[in-house]
Amino acid sequence: MRVTGTGHASMRIDTAAGSILCDPWVNPAYFASWFPFPDNSQLDWEALGDVDYLYVSHLHRDHFDAAHLKRYVSKKATVLLPEFPTSEMEDEFRELGFTKFLKTRNEEVVELDGGLKIMIQALTSPTDGPIGDSSLWVEYDGIRLLNQNDARPTDLSTFAELGHVHAHMLQFSGAIWYPMVYELPQAAKTAFGKQKRERQFDRTWRYIDDLKADHVFPIAGPPCFLDDELWQFNDIFDDEGNIFPDQSVFLTEYAKVGGTNGIVLLPGSVSEITTSGAATTHPVPVEEFFADKAAHLAEMRERKRPIIEAEKASWRHPEVDVLKEMKRRIEPLLDESIYLAKGVGGPVRFDLVGYDGESVESIVVDFPGKQVRPYADEKVRYRFRTERALVEHLFHIGEVDWVNSLFLSCRFSAARIGQYNEFVYAFFKCLSSERLQYAEGWYDEHERAVDAEDITIGDWTVQRRCPHLKADLSRFGIVEGDQLTCQLHGWRFDLPSGRCLTSVGHKIRAHRVGEEAPVSETAQSS
């Protein structure tokens, strides 16, 4: 089995029975904030796109690059579709001209022509990608590969049960706006960033240990930031709080925990994977390339500057009345929302900075009041400050997912009262009736589900499944003192009270070993 690195989470898998192109991303994403690094725009995409099968893990725009898919990927390719709860992915592919689809069933092995086997595991919580994320397992002639990319399954046993895996591709770097955009003292940002960076690596080591593949390939990150306004987010300033470590940092950190089987794929790298090893060639030496990272980024910044400026010039739509559009598009969703609106529990404010860089229009999305209105000098749960032009553009293009567009762009600042509230971001990811109804149903079903099984971690008996997204705490739970941390997403809980320290709600069932469980817990688990 041959794997060609094509940048970020993208790769081409070649076997004698067929070829699969995965997640090709070349054009800038999220308001021209994210670019692939190392640069992959100079690869021979005409040849790389001439494939038998196309797999895109989810609709994040650093995985689903519509312009690139339309121009370079053969429309004769069969699209391997994860079993997602909505038809959005298939609809988008059809708009690009694709007509051949294989609609897979979740975690069901499919044998394609010539003995090539695939299986796709779809994750379908509202927090997984834009309503869904997935992983691809491939087997041919006894060689097995798992392309996990961004997906965070509760465990990898489903793949391990199919046989020993020879190549494991997985995310290790950040793909979020926290903590950089929050209006915090720099020391606090650094501390939170360092904590998040460590959690990212801890989660990666856990997945690697779960699967025990012969070879580990760090992929799906980090992006690079070429706009002058965002340049400081690149991990080139010896900032221990930077959440975007690159592949060379991965190898260094992996070695600290005993990892010796890591392989980096640069764009154009080729790895021939067999049962006895992986022979990999690179267009340039990997160590040499990353030693010159700052120079590569500076060269890319100048080369891509016209692209960024052209993007910025397209955002302004002065004909859009933002308040009117927010009322028209968001108020009907507030009326539909029961669970998410209750979860947010308060007003959310948007401060929109005008073209002059000084004037500000403040608009409130009032979740309890189910209305959008001008700000009235009140306390709000969250406050977001961004350019008016960005929100104008969101309405101009009919964007239904502000999380995976505006927020991932990092072109905003934020402040909040109290803990992180996942319902705020879940709502602004679901700005269509189809998405909102799915999320409402998912949260309702999820919260009503009772997990009766308990486990022991250290001195504590706790419910086995994390209240957040049902991660197995026997695998991902770490107890330090009276606090439990779920390493899958970094959520923390105060064990004596059961209170979630990361977000509102999500209380955990817990008591000390040897002590009788509280009556309410006993009733819940009976």
Q: Reply yes or no on whether the pLDDT at 519 is more than 70.
A: no
Question: Residue 522: what pLDDT?
Answer: 34
Q: Reply yes or no on whether the pLDDT at 506 is more than 80.
A: no
Model pLDDT for residues 485-501, shown as the tens digit of each residue: 988 777 889 999 988 88
The band of 515, judged by pLDDT with boundaries at 50, 70 and 90, is confident
The overall average pLDDT reported for the chain is 93
- Whether residues 431 and 387 share a domain: the answer is yes
- Whether residues 133 and 165 share a domain: the answer is yes
| Residue among 13, 281, 52 nearest 166 (CA) | 13
Tokens coding 516: 């009788």
Which has more confidence, 522 or 9?
9
Residue 118 half-sphere exposure, CB side, CA atoms within 13 Å? 27
* 162 within some domain: yes
Cβ 484 vs Cβ 510: under 8 Å:
yes
Q: Which of 395, 412, 443 is the last residue of a domain?
A: 443
* 315 within some domain: no
- Whether residues 208 and 326 share a domain: the answer is no
* 157 within some domain: yes
Which residues does residue 12 pair with via DSSP β-bridges, in sequence order? 4, 21
Cβ 438 vs Cβ 404: under 8 Å:
no
Which residues does residue 20 pair with via DSSP β-bridges, in sequence order? 13, 53
Q: Give me the count of residues in the chain.
A: 526
The contacts of residue 411 (CB under 8 Å, 6+ apart) are 31, 33, 229, 230, 386, 387, 390
The residue segments making up the domain with residue 342 are 322-443
CATH of the domain at 391: 3.30.1050.10
The letter for the amino acid at 67 is: A
- The pTM of the full predicted model, rounded to 2 decimals, is 0.87
Question: Residue 469: what pLDDT?
Answer: 64
Q: Reply yes or no on whether the pLDDT at 214 is more than 90.
A: yes
The band of 523, judged by pLDDT with boundaries at 50, 70 and 90, is very low
Question: Residue 447: what pLDDT?
Answer: 64
* 271 within some domain: yes
Question: Residue 520: what pLDDT?
Answer: 45
Tokens coding 377: 């000098």
Q: Reply yes or no on whether the pLDDT at 258 is more than 90.
A: yes
Dist CA 11 CA 14 (whole Å): 10
Residue 127 half-sphere exposure, CB side, CA atoms within 13 Å? 16
- Whether residues 490 and 521 share a domain: the answer is yes
- Whether residues 478 and 386 share a domain: the answer is no
Model pLDDT for residues 449-472, shown as the tens digit of each residue: 556 688 899 999 999 888 876 677
Q: Reply yes or no on whether the pLDDT at 526 is more than 70.
A: no
Straight-line distance from the first to the last Cα atom of the chain, in angstroms, rounded to the nearest whole number: 51
For residue 233, the Cα-to-chain-centroid distance in whole angstroms is 17
Q: Which of 443, 475, 510 is the last residue of a domain?
A: 443
Q: Which of 279, 307, 335 is the last residue of a domain?
A: 307
Task: Give the DSSP letter of residue 217.
Answer: E
Number of domains in the chain: 3
In 10 A of CB 398, how many CB atoms? Answer: 9
Model pLDDT for residues 14-24, shown as the tens digit of each residue: 999 999 999 99
Q: What stretches of 73-163 show up as alpha helix (H) in DSSP? A: 88-95, 157-160
Model pLDDT for residues 324-348, shown as the tens digit of each residue: 999 999 999 999 999 999 999 999 9
The band of 255, judged by pLDDT with boundaries at 50, 70 and 90, is very high
* 150 within some domain: yes
Q: Reply yes or no on whether the pLDDT at 525 is more than 60.
A: no
Rg over alpha carbons for the chain, rounded to the nearest Å, is 23
- Whether residues 457 and 439 share a domain: the answer is no
Which residues does residue 111 pair with via DSSP β-bridges, in sequence order? 117
Strand arrangement, sheet containing 270-274: 101-103, 78-81, 53-55, 18-22, 11-15, 2-5, 270-274, 277-281
Task: Give the DSSP letter of residue 381.
Answer: S
Task: Give the DSSP letter of residue 518.
Answer: P
Question: Residue 468: what pLDDT?
Answer: 74
Q: What stretches of 403-514 show up as alpha helix (H) in DSSP? A: 422-428, 433-448, 473-476
The contacts of residue 42 (CB under 8 Å, 6+ apart) are none
- Whether residues 22 and 75 share a domain: the answer is yes
Q: Reply yes or no on whether the pLDDT at 375 is more than 80.
A: yes
